[in-house]
A and B are shown apart, each in its own frame.
Chain A
Amino acid sequence: MNEQQTMLADMASALFADLSHGATLAADWGRIEDMGFTGLLLAEESGGFGGGWADAAILFRLAGYHALSLPLVEAVVAARLANDAGFAQHGFGTIAEKAEGQFEQGRFTGVVRGAAWGRNAAFVAAPAPGGGAMLLSVGDAKVEERENPAGEPRDILHFSGAPAATLTVDLFALGAAARSMQAAGALDAALALAVGYVNDRKQFGKPLGKLQAVQQALAVFACEAAAANIAATAVAQALDRGDFDYEVAAAKIRTNIAAGIGTAVAHQAHGAIGFTHEYGLHPLTRRLWSWRSEFGSEQHWSMILGHHVTTADADHYWADMTRRSDATTPSSPGCAGPGEQA
């Protein structure tokens, strides 16, 4: 991390730790906005941090680590898309996973699904039926409230002839990358909880952490969390380069695998206490189970990545992988805190 990223991480982790117990949109969203986090991916001349995806990865990972129950990740992505599309709205935006319907002459009629905190958002970005993304005002929608197993709002929005702005970005891929970054943080947090628990909890006259069977299971978990974290970091690099379909697929597959293994080990290590509502494991594991399905399963992305690598000659398979990391990385645009000189 560079100095500005260190500062971003410090500010974010202090705030998210403070908000980690039942933050609500009504009571706490103002604190997020005061920090200017939603403008992370906006240029400084547009009033933002001027940050890149490497910075977003830090913020999103920490949001996952603290199981932040506010739509910050979605608002950051939506703000960037709205800015790129020149779609001016008051209030925060969100992103949605899917849309079904017709988009004709700048108007959308149909259903947008999986809109995070759609009921509260001013606008929503969703994958457009014919490719690319569209931006819609939530005020034009009839909102059907839903939530994922973690209790995060995932609303269905019904539109009829609503005006929409469009842009060419692959929003589903951006969503997948964002969920990978959040999952990487949540996995590290669940690992920290499990390690702390087995070091405290005594059975057979000694801490559980002294038992080899427990140690080996947590080592497996640590390896999976490490894989998820490196995937989340590397996908941010690809997003900053601008050629990222391969890496997003690879990262979402890998973090999904890690989420499956990590949640199982975390609960096994905790025993019954981890299964209670009072204890802080479920806000992490229920999010991990939810995010594993959101923006594409292992199978979905495996097919996409599989098609990517099988359309080229197999003899270029390795060369394709190495070319992607050899590509010169533009230096990160970096970020500065609000009111700071970059």
Chain B
Amino acid sequence: MPFGHAGSPANRDGLVQTFTFKPFDMPANAAALREQVRAFIRDNMTDGDIARRANCWQVNDPDFSRALGKAGLIGLSLPRQYGGHDRSALERYIVLEELLSVGAPVGAHWIADRQTAPLLLRYGTEEQRRRWIPGIAAGEVYGCIGLSEPNAGSDLASVRSSARRDGDGWVLNGQKIWTTNAHIAHIMIGLFRSEEGSERNARLSQFLIPLDTPGITIRPIINLTGEHDFNEVFFDDVKLPADALIGEEGQGWAQATAELSLERSGPERYLSSMVLVTELVRHAAKSGDPAAIALAGRFTSEAWTLRQMSLAVAGRMAMGEDPALEATIVKDLGNSFEQAVPQLVQQVIELDLSSDDPLALLAAQLLQVSPSFSLRGGTREILRGIVARGLGLR
């Protein structure tokens, strides 16, 4: 039954329920934890360029990341023995949403904390965990993800970069592209074809690649605002030891896609424009403009709903489930909201985009960077294809 869930009465009666919500309690220490993060932000966030608060999980500030790590606010749900803090997934969620809501520059460590460390915990060797995770939790070691290639974008199963066995080890060749933060990262988790001539998503493998390994060349790709986020990464006979293989040989596709719920439903999928929402609320309060007040109400409704959805997915994942479809829905709706925010602010408010008015600066920044929101981490069209399959179409 599309969207039905085994055992639910709705399912037995043939009813469709699009989103399964299981009530869960926020951690009892939620308020105290929020206060801890807010105090950190007051002490550590400077009043610099306000435009850098937009889309802040792609804004790098290694000093901020180190201070955050020192305060114990990275690697929250990682085990203590690897430098983590043994906290629950929902406690981690609270810390993330607090940081994102004010536009904290968390880009440097974001991928390492969200994906690299959990992957190493699940598939890495003991030595790899000890080597890398403490640095990640300290906000000192950064990661990047090597998926896309020049001919493998949304069609990721077309990756051609190769990993060939060489004695005990591996030799990598090929090219990755659109690799966010390769230029500041210490390690990449990359998807390579580990059997020559294999097709589509079969026989792909994940590798842990220290980016200072000889044979790796990283070149910047400057984005439309003139900033350097992503890169091309070239692999030219890059020699890696046997344990560079993460998890099982040939299971790279399954391993990479198993992480998608975590990647797609997080608070970063709807909060990238939240600082502009807050600035609009400030503007509406000051001006008393009814159109701005109504827009503030509408944004609040959408943000509130998305937060409930994102939390519901986090709550189910904390119970060990994988609500992949719900996570996909959160990302699609969340991205659409993040993109609509600057468009609607521009539609309703008279903005002078050449001024240094905070509302104008944030709107201008988000108008330019928001097209990427529904591209990164799975395009809108790919996501809607997944939802359609979940509906029983295709």
**Residue of A13, A246, A309 with most chain B CB atoms under a 10 A cut-off:** A309
**Residue of B21, B279, B391 with most chain A CB atoms under a 10 A cut-off:** B391
Judge whether A302 and B18 touch: CB under 8 Å: no
Judge whether A314 and B278 touch: CB under 8 Å: yes
Known contacts A198-B393, A219-B388, A307-B293; is-contact A229 B17 (Cβ 8 Å): yes
How many A residues have CB within 8 A of the partner chain?
73
- Closest A-chain residue to B17, C-beta based? A188
Task: Tell me, in angstroms, the Cα distance from A225 to B305 when the chains sit together.
Answer: 12
Judge whether B381 and A302 touch: CB under 8 Å: no
Residues from chain B with Cβ under 8 Å of A219 in the complex: 332, 383-385, 387-388, 391
Judge whether B21 and A191 touch: CB under 8 Å: no
Task: Tell me, in angstroms, the Cα distance from A234 to B385 when the chains sit together.
Answer: 28
- Closest A-chain residue to B390, C-beta based? A222
Q: How near does chain B come to A304, taking the closest CB pair, in angstroms?
A: 7
Task: Tell me, in angstroms, the Cα distance from A17 to B13 when the chains sit together.
Answer: 9
Judge whether B301 and A302 touch: CB under 8 Å: yes
Does A301 sit at the interface, judged by CB under 8 A? yes
> Within the complex, which residue of A210, A251, A314 is in contact with B285, where a contact is CB–CB below 8 Å?
A314
Task: Tell me, in angstroms, the Cα distance from A192 to B392 when the chains sit together.
Answer: 10
Does B31 sit at the interface, judged by CB under 8 A? yes
- List, sorted by A's number, 17 A–B pairs whose CB atoms are closer than 8 Å: A191-B391, A195-B2, A209-B392, A214-B393, A215-B385, A222-B3, A222-B387, A222-B390, A226-B329, A230-B19, A254-B302, A302-B297, A306-B292, A314-B278, A318-B278, A325-B26, A328-B25
How many B residues have CB within 8 A of the partner chain?
68
Question: Lowest 10 CB-CB distances: which A-B pairs, in order?
Answer: A306-B297, A302-B297, A305-B297, A219-B384, A314-B282, A215-B388, A306-B293, A253-B301, A226-B19, A219-B387
Residues from chain A with Cβ under 8 Å of B274 in the complex: 318
Judge whether A192 and B15 touch: CB under 8 Å: yes
> Within the complex, which residue of A65, A225, A231, A314 is in contact with B279, where a contact is CB–CB below 8 Å?
A314
Total of A-B residue pairs, C-beta within 8 Å: 212
Known contacts A219-B391, A250-B301; is-contact A306 B309 (Cβ 8 Å): no
Listed in ascending order, the chain B residues whose CB lies under 8 Å from chain A are 2-3, 8-10, 12-13, 15-19, 21, 23, 25-26, 28, 30-31, 34, 38, 97-98, 101-102, 274, 277-279, 281-282, 284-285, 290, 292-298, 300-309, 311-312, 326, 329, 332-333, 381, 383-385, 387-388, 390-394
Judge whether B393 and A230 touch: CB under 8 Å: no
Does A311 sit at the interface, judged by CB under 8 A? yes
Judge whether B290 and A325 touch: CB under 8 Å: no
Known contacts A222-B387, A229-B21; is-contact A306 B394 (Cβ 8 Å): no
- Closest A-chain residue to B380, C-beta based? A216
Judge whether B301 and A318 touch: CB under 8 Å: no
Residues from chain B with Cβ under 8 Å of A218 in the complex: 388, 391, 393
Known contacts A215-B393, A222-B391; is-contact A302 B295 (Cβ 8 Å): yes
Task: Give chain A interface residues in 154-183, CB to chain B under 8 Å.
Answer: none
Judge whether B393 and A309 touch: CB under 8 Å: no
Judge whether B300 and A250 touch: CB under 8 Å: yes
Judge whether B294 and A229 touch: CB under 8 Å: no
Judge whether B300 and A229 touch: CB under 8 Å: no
Q: How near does chain B come to A44, taking the closest CB pair, in angstroms?
A: 22
- Closest B-chain residue to A310, C-beta based? B285
- Closest A-chain residue to B16, C-beta based? A192
Judge whether B297 and A191 touch: CB under 8 Å: no
Listed in ascending order, the chain A residues whose CB lies under 8 Å from chain B are 1, 6, 9-10, 13-14, 17, 54, 62, 65, 187-189, 191-192, 195, 198-199, 209-210, 212, 214-216, 218-220, 222-223, 225-227, 229-231, 233-234, 237, 246-247, 249-251, 253-254, 257, 298-299, 301-311, 313-315, 317-319, 321-323, 325-326, 328-329, 332
Task: Tell me, in angstroms, the Cα distance from A125 to B97 when the chains sit together.
Answer: 41
Residues from chain A with Cβ under 8 Å of B392 in the complex: 195, 199, 209
Task: Tell me, in angstroms, the Cα distance from A233 to B304 when the chains sit together.
Answer: 12
- Closest A-chain residue to B311, C-beta based? A325
Judge whether A298 and B298 touch: CB under 8 Å: yes
- Closest B-chain residue to A8, C-beta based? B9
Known contacts A188-B17, A226-B329, A321-B300; is-contact A215 B285 (Cβ 8 Å): no
Q: How near does chain B come to A245, taking the closest CB pair, in angstroms?
A: 12
Judge whether B19 and A302 touch: CB under 8 Å: no
**Residue of A225, A303, A306, A308 with most chain B CB atoms under a 10 A cut-off:** A306
Judge whether A317 and B281 touch: CB under 8 Å: yes
Residues from chain A with Cβ under 8 Å of B296 in the complex: 305-306, 309-310
> Within the complex, which residue of B290, B385, B393 is in contact with A199, where a contact is CB–CB below 8 Å?
B393
Judge whether B297 and A304 touch: CB under 8 Å: yes
Judge whether A230 and B394 touch: CB under 8 Å: no
Task: Tell me, in angstroms, the Cα distance from A188 to B21 when the chains sit together.
Answer: 14
Task: Tell me, in angstroms, the Cα distance from A210 to B389 when the chains sit together.
Answer: 10
